[in-house]
Chains A and B, each alone.
Chain A
Amino acid sequence: MKTLIIIRERDYTWLRTVFPDIHPLLFPICNKPFIEFLIDFSILAGSEAVRIVSDGSLIDVEEYCDNGSLWGTAISYSSIMSMDDQLAVIDKNRRFCSEEKILIISGLVFIQYDKLHDYKSLFASQPNGDLLVCNGGRLSLAGNPPELQKNSPLLSLSLIALDSLDGYYRLCMEILGFASSPYVLPGYNNEAYCHIGRNVVISKSAEIRKPVMIGNNVQILEDAIIGPGAVIGSNVIIDRKSTVTESIVLANTYIGEQLEVQNKIAAGNMLIEPEGGICITMDDPHLLTGIKKSGSVGSLLQFLVHSFAALLLITLQLIPFLILSPILTIQGKWKKSKNIYYTGTVGETLTLTTTTIERRGFISSLAAALSLDRFALLFSVLRGHLAVIGSSLELASDSNTTLHAVESWYHAGVFSYAEAEEWPVSGGDKAIVERYFAVHGNPFLDITMTIKAFFNRIHETNTP
């Protein structure tokens, strides 16, 4: 038997809007990524391979799960289109499904099972069709029907949709409530109702009241009280005298002194009330903040290389700029406008003066060919605000005020990678090229690309 896990963007938009940085399949439920529960269940049900299928990006999931060797199963991935129904999905994965029986888990749904029960024989004898259905998705069987078809009741198995923060919260609290968990959960479980991870430092005067789950690298300072009913993620600090009861604290969160977290979900600097789904963002570092992971070293090299390239270009363009721009300004072909753009760092915007040259006549064509309209922007590279080559500048508008409208790979540049290539025709094409080089680029390749972009602009008939 094989398992097909189908997850569509529309199933998880609600979760992605609240937590844009975590892929919903990797979202922790009691400190265990959601996908792991599904993988555990597949193996329990007798599946020898798992394929994860989505109409959205699965890069993060693939990075985490890899080929499935960690769980002793084979995991593969494929893409579908949003409008594909279950039959179309199976068709697109025909080689995977081949002659086997297929267990299909569709939607953002949590399967409530018990690791001690025997599901292998149960699934082996079930006929095809929907086994369990809920408003968020379904569990069904397809493919080769069994020889012995018994429609036996599905004991000890149920399905809940993960469709709201409240639902998520209640699920975690429910799992906490089991003395001996029906699921394999992370952490040392020497006592009932208690799971504690590695490198957890608990002050002598702090109190832990069961049931409680604590992740790795957690610090609980003096006189703090954790629980009853607390799930603490990894890399969390609970400062002095604070209490966390009936709440979930997600990874990388700092909870300040003398605070009372009751019936909440705390994630970074966000505090959420599950029942109403009310989220607030805290700016106050004394209350709640996110704990940031260390930045990359490679960015310094990139800055140096890009600044070097910018300096070269500035030297090359300086004299033409000084001669031609005054002439064009008098002719009225040199137009400047000041706008706000995204830079690529979360929440950061930049006010830039961009120039457009009207290509009419010899002088203006020459100026445009030498990319003199980008001259002023090169100085922003030296200041570290822009890359010399990257994604094309995106106007920050009210409709996409959060950076998440602009994706995580975005890094604004004076030139765009798309300008270095000849094939892009539409905005969509440009995005493809920019995404490709955001991942496959390196500072030295960037110099080559900048030169290519520069030369391409010489031949261009219309300045964008």
Chain B
Amino acid sequence: MIFHVDGSTGKKLGIAELNGRLDAKNSSELLTSFERWQQQTNLIILDCSKLDLIDSSGLGAVVSCLRKAIEKNGDLKLANLSPKVSMVFELTKAKKLFSIFPDTGSALQSF
């Protein structure tokens, strides 16, 4: 998971790239990484362009990250969801919890 801070909009916004699958095996890794990223900024975008599939534990992890962000008055937004990943979000009603953008650029602008 690659994370970098983008200051192009004038605000410190974090962009994290998710790779491959997010499932029971690596979802805890996301949570610990997220806490690390929060030390740099509380406004984070998850770039899901390279995310192939997500299961219920992966979704659970992403929702927990959202909660952590809100607890610290921040936010977590999603960008570049593939149609397959989008369907899983829709199925579990998780789609309603997030602001979702078609690309990282529009996500950056939205903050």
Query: What is the bound-complex CA distance between A84 and B23, given in angstroms?
Result: 50
The answer to whether residues A261 and B91 also contact, given A283-B55, A287-B55 and a CB cut-off of 8 A, is yes
The stretch from B34-42, B66-74, B81-89 touching chain A is: B81-89
Once A284-B56, A287-B55 are accepted as A-B contacts, the answer to whether A260 and B90 lie under 8 Å apart by CB is yes
The residue of chain B having its C-beta at the shortest distance from the C-beta of A258 within the complex is: B93
Please determine whether B87 and A278 come into contact, CB atoms closer than 8 angstroms.
yes
Q: How far is the CB of A7 from chain B (nearest CB, A)?
A: 31
Interface membership of B53, Cβ < 8 A: yes
Check if B53 sits within 8 Å of A287, measured CB to CB. no
What chain A residues lie within 8 Å of B88 (beta carbons)? 280, 282, 287
B73 to chain A, nearest CB (A): 28
A288 to B92, CA, bound (A): 11
A295 interface contact, C-beta 8 A: no
Contacts of A287 on B, CB cut-off 8 Å?
55-56, 88, 91-92
B87 contact from A258, A271, A284, A286, Cβ within 8 A: A271
With a CB–CB cut-off of 8 A, which chain B residues contact A260?
90-93
- Among residues of B, the one whose C-beta sits closest to the C-beta of A262 is B90
- For residue A271, which residues in chain B have a CB less than 8 angstroms away from its CB? 87, 91
**Given A259-B93, A261-B91, CB of A278 within 8 Å of CB of B56:** no
Closest to B91 in A: A259
CA distance in complex: A282, B91 (Å) = 11
* Residues of A contacting B55 in the complex (Cβ-Cβ under 8 angstroms): 282-284, 287
Residue in B23, B53, B57, B92 whose beta carbon sits within 8 Å of that of A259 in the complex = B92
Given contacts A271-B87, A273-B87, contact A280 B53 (CB under 8 A): yes
Docked complex Cα distance between A284 and B23 (Å): 9
Residues of B within 8 A of A284 (CB): 23, 55-57
* In the assembled complex, A464 has its CB within 8 A of some CB on chain B: no
Contact with B along A266-296 (1 / 0, CB 8 A): 0000010100101010111011100000000
Within 8 A of A (CB), among B83-111: 83-84, 87-88, 90-93
Q: Within the complex, which residue of B57, B83, B91, B93 is in contact with A278, where a contact is CB–CB below 8 Å?
A: B83
For B57, the chain A residues whose CB sits under 8 A away are: 284
Kindly provide the distance from the CB of B108 to the nearest chain A CB, expressed in whole angstroms.
27
Query: What residues of chain A lie closer than 8 Å to B92, measured between beta carbons?
Result: 258-260, 287
Closest to A285 in B: B56
Q: Which of A236-283 contact B (CB under 8 A)?
A: 258-262, 264, 271, 273, 276, 278, 280, 282-283
In the bound assembly, the distance between CA atoms of A282 and B87 in angstroms comes to 11
Shortest distance between the CB of A385 and any CB in chain B (Å): 27
Chain A contacts for B84, CB-based, 8 A: 278, 280
Tell me the complex Cα distance, A259–B90, Å: 9
Q: Which residues of B contact A273 (CB under 8 A)?
A: 83, 87
Smallest Cβ distance from A305 to chain B, in angstroms?
A: 41
Chain B: CB-nearest residue to A241: B93
Which of chain B's residues has its CB closest to A266's CB?
A: B91
**Residue of B with least CB distance to A277:** B83
Q: Bound complex: CA of A286 vs CA of B56, how far in Å?
A: 7
A264 contact set on B, CB distance < 8 A: 87, 91
Minimal beta-carbon separation of B54 from chain A (angstroms): 9
Q: Is there contact, CB below 8 Å, between A276 and B83?
A: yes
Bound CA span A301–B91, Å: 43
CA–CA, A183 and B98, complex, Å: 44
Q: B87 to A280, Cβ gap below 8 A?
A: yes
Chain B residues with CB under 8 Å of A258's CB are 92-93
* B92 to chain A: closest residue by CB: A259
CB distance from A381 to the nearest CB of B (A): 34
Query: Complex: how many Å from CA A284 to CA B22?
Result: 12
Closest-by-CB residue of B relative to A260 is: B93
Complexed CA–CA distance, A223 and B84 (Å): 27
Q: Which residue of A lies closest to B54 (CB)?
A: A284
Nearest-CB residue, chain A, relative to B53: A280
A203-245 contacts to B (CB < 8 Å): none
**In the docked arrangement, what's the CA distance between A329 and B23, Å?**
47
B85 closest partner in A (C-beta): A280
Residues of A within 8 A of B90 (CB): 260, 262
B interface residues (Cβ-Cβ under 8 A, vs A): 23, 53, 55-57, 83-84, 87-88, 90-93
The 6 A-B pairs of least Cβ separation, nearest first, read: A284-B55, A280-B84, A278-B83, A286-B56, A260-B93, A284-B56
> Would you list 21 pairs from A and B whose C-beta atoms are within 8 A, ordered by A residue?
A258-B92, A258-B93, A260-B90, A260-B92, A260-B93, A261-B91, A262-B90, A273-B83, A273-B87, A276-B83, A278-B83, A280-B84, A282-B55, A282-B88, A283-B23, A283-B55, A284-B56, A286-B56, A287-B56, A287-B88, A288-B91
Q: Give A residues with C-beta under 8 Å from B.
A: 258-262, 264, 271, 273, 276, 278, 280, 282-284, 286-288
| Other 15 A-B pairs with CB < 8 A, given A259-B93, A276-B83, A280-B53 | A258-B93, A259-B91, A260-B91, A260-B92, A262-B90, A271-B87, A271-B91, A273-B83, A278-B83, A278-B84, A282-B88, A284-B56, A287-B56, A287-B88, A288-B91
